[in-house]
C-alpha cells in the first residue's frame, strides 16, 4: 500500500502553517523537504507532516526557524518535551533551557529592524500586499509569537513616528493609521484562522470593552492564548459588558481576556465597565486584562478581582497557570 502523501494545502490546514510559510521554510532554510509529483507539485509524507508540526510547536514557544531548521526530528521532539512547560513564566522557561540551544535573541536585531523598516515603507505607499509579504517573511523567520511582540507593535510605533516626521496632516495620518490597523488585523485574523484546533481544550473569550478599540492587541492575545494550549474565541471590539458576559456564557468559557488601550473613554468609564463584567460572571471564570492603560486603572481593576498581564508573554504564562 502506497504511503499517505499530502498536498501543501492539506499540510497548511492540518498544522496551521500557511502555504507561503511552508515554501519559505523549504526554500530559505531547507527545514522541510517535500517530494514532488511529475508536474512539480509538492507532496508531504506523514513524517514530513509530523516534522512541520514540531517546527510550528517550537516557533510558538519562542524559537526561530533559523535556529531549528537543521535539527533532526529527534532533536525537535526532545526540545518540544523539554519546553512543554514554556507557557509558564519566562523565567521558569529559561531555567528549563535545553542544552543544545542558546536563548533566542529577542529584540531589535537586524532582522527585526529590516522587517519594521520594510513595513513602514509599505504603509507610506499604502501597499497592503507589500505589508502582508513583510509580515509573512517575519512570521516564517521568527514564529507567530515573536512576530507579535517584536515586529507588529514596533511597526505601529514606528509608523506613528514616521507620520510625525513626514508632517502628515490629520487626514493623511488617519488614513495611514486605518490602513495599518486594517491590514494587520486581516493578517493576524488569517494567522488565527489557520492555527490548528484544540478539541477538548478550555475556551477563552477575548474582546475589547466599550470605548476601547485595540483589535490588534486582542488578536495578538488570541494567538498567545492558543499557544497556551487553549481555544481562543475573539468576540469583537467595543462590546458592552453584558455582551461579553453573554458570549462567555454561551461558549462555556473558562476565562475572559480584555484588550484595553490608552485612547479610552476615561478612568471611571473603563473601570466601571470592567467591574460590571466581573460581576456578571461566576468567580470560577477568570478575567484577565492588558494593554496601554494608566497605573491607577490597573490598581483599581486588580482590587476588583481582575488579573493584569503586563505583556503578551505574561498573559500566556498567567492564563496557562490559572485555566
Domain parsing of the chain, residue ranges: 5-95, 110-194, 203-322
pLDDT at 116 > cutoff 60: yes
Q: Reduce the DSSP state of residue 33 to 3 states and report it.
A: coil
Mean pLDDT of the chain: 85
Cβ-based neighbours of 56, under 8 Å, separated by 6 or more? 15, 16, 17
Q: What is the pLDDT of residue 307?
A: 96
Percent of residues in the chain assigned helix, strand, coil, to nearest 5: 60, 10, 30
User: 87: burial class by Cβ within 10 Å (0-12, 13-18, 19+)?
Assistant: buried
User: CB-hemisphere CA count at 13 Å for 316?
Assistant: 27
C-alpha cell read off for 82: 523539554
Q: What is the pLDDT of residue 169?
A: 63
Confidence of residue 184 (pLDDT cuts 50, 70, 90): very high
Between CA 139 and CA 19 the distance in angstroms is: 12
Domain 110-194 maps to which CATH number in 3.30.70, 1.10.1240, 3.40.720, 2.30.170? 1.10.1240
Q: What is the pLDDT of residue 98?
A: 44
pLDDT in tens, 39-49: 889 999 999 99
**Beta strands 42-45 and 255-260: pairing type?**
unpaired
Q: What is the pLDDT of residue 264?
A: 66
Pair 86, 71: CB distance under 8 Å = no
C-alpha cell read off for 181: 490597523
Q: What is the pLDDT of residue 101?
A: 44
pLDDT at 300 > cutoff 60: yes
Alpha helices in 167-210 (DSSP H): 170-194
Q: What is the pLDDT of residue 172?
A: 80
Q: Which CATH architecture has domain 5-95?
A: Orthogonal Bundle (1.10)
Q: What is the pLDDT of residue 106?
A: 41
The class level of CATH for 203-322 reads alpha beta
pLDDT at 87 > cutoff 50: no
Which pTM does this prediction carry? 0.69
Measure CA 120 to chain center.
20
pLDDT in tens, 235-284: 999 999 999 999 999 999 999 999 998 766 678 899 999 999 999 999 99
C-alpha cell read off for 241: 459588558
Pair 185, 152: CB distance under 8 Å = no
pLDDT at 52 > cutoff 70: yes
pLDDT in tens, 201-210: 999 999 999 9
Cβ-based neighbours of 225, under 8 Å, separated by 6 or more? 204, 206, 232, 257, 315, 316, 319
C-alpha cell read off for 209: 470593552
Pair 230, 204: CB distance under 8 Å = yes
Amino acid at each position: 500500500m502506497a504511503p499517505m502523501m499530502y498536498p501543501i494545502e492539506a499540510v497548511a490546514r492540518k498544522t496551521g502553517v500557511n502555504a507561503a510559510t511552508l515554501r519559505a521554510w523549504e526554500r530559505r532554510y531547507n527545514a522541510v523537504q517535500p517530494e514532488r509529483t511529475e508536474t512539480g507539485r509538492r507532496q508531504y509524507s506523514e513524517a514530513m507532516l509530523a516534522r512541520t508540526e514540531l517546527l510550528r510547536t517550537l516557533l510558538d514557544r519562542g524559537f526561530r526557524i533559523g535556529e531549528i531548521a537543521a535539527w533532526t526530528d529527534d532533536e525537535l521532539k526532545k526540545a518540544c518535551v523539554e519546553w512543554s512547560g514554556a507557557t509558564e513564566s519566562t523565567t521558569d522557561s529559561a531555567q528549563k533551557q535545553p542544552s543544545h540551544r542558546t536563548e533566542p535573541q529577542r529584540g531589535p536585531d537586524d532582522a527585526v529592524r529590516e522587517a519594521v523598516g520594510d513595513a513602514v515603507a509599505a504603509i507610506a505607499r499604502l501597499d497592503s500586499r507589500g505589508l502582508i509579504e513583510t509580515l509573512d517573511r517575519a512570521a516564517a523567520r521568527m514564529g507567530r509569537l515573536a512576530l507579535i511582540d517584536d515586529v507588529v507593535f514596533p511597526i505601529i510605533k514606528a509608523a506613528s513616528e514616521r507620520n510625525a516626521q513626514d508632517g502628515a496632516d490629520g487626514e493623511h495620518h488617519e488614513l495611514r493609521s486605518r490602513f495599518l490597523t486594517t491590514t494587520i488585523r486581516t493578517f493576524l485574523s488569517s494567522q488565527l484562522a489557520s492555527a490548528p484546533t484544540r478539541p477538548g481544550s478550555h475556551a477563552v473569550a477575548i474582546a475589547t470593552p466599550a470605548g476601547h478599540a485595540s483589535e490588534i492587541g486582542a488578536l495578538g492575545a488570541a494567538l498567545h492564548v492558543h499557544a497556551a494550549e487553549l481555544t481562543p474565541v475573539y468576540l469583537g471590539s467595543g462590546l458592552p459588558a453584558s455582551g461579553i458576559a453573554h458570549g462567555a456564557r454561551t461558549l462555556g468559557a473558562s476565562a475572559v481576556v480584555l484588550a484595553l488601550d490608552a485612547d479610552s473613554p476615561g478612568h471611571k468609564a473603563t473601570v466601571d465597565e470592567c467591574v460590571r463584567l466581573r460581576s456578571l460572571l461566576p468567580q470560577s471564570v477568570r478575567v484577565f486584562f492588558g494593554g496601554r492603560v494608566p497605573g491607577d486603572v490597573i490598581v483599581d481593576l486588580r482590587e476588583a478581582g481582575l488579573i493584569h498581564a503586563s505583556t503578551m508573554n505574561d498573559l500566556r504564562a498567567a492564563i496557562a497557570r490559572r485555566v
